A = this chain, B = another copy of it.
Amino acid sequence: VQLDPRQLSHLLHVWPVARLASVGPAGQPHLVPVVFVALDGAIYSPIDGKPKRGGMLQRMRNVAREESVSLLLDEYDDDWDLLWWVRIDAKADVVTHAEPAPHSFAQIVDALHAKYRQYDSVDVFKGQPTLLRLRPTRHNAWSVQQVAWESL
């Protein structure tokens, strides 16, 4: 099913984690958990925000070659009646040297600070600011029971 734009926007605003899938040169999918913010329909996920190895470069290389990515927001609960997921397909690119139009690095950093108080004690970027910019193309939502998206 489809969420209405306000529900989707709210979910992206409050939900702290997503899993990002990109595709490697041999058609091998690659998966990593990410933090992110949504601004006016664009989704930004910082790279280097947390100490990471391995996955980081692969993700960037994959996106530079194949822009199709998928982002999954979901909740697992032992009570399977409460399960839900929202999958967002997107085109992604890596932004590092130029400002990530239509939003500046400063705007995105502000939004990350507003969403994640963890950034009070962790730098968003280490060295050169780098992030993935996702332009969603479609989404699909699933749940066992009706979910009160607005109250998540």
Contacts and interface: CB of A to CB of B under 8 A. Distances in A.
B50 A80 contact: yes
A16 B70 contact: no
B66 A27 contact: yes
A53 interface: yes
Contacts of A51: 144
Contacts of A30: 21, 70, 87
| Copies of this protein, total | 2
A69 interface: yes
Nearest to A118: B80
A53 B142 contact: yes
B27 A68 contact: yes
A22 interface: yes
Interface stretch (A6-14, A40-48, A71-79, A101-109): A71-79
Interface of A: 16-17, 19, 21-23, 26-33, 50-55, 66, 68-72, 74, 76, 78, 80, 83, 85, 87, 89, 118, 122, 140, 142, 144
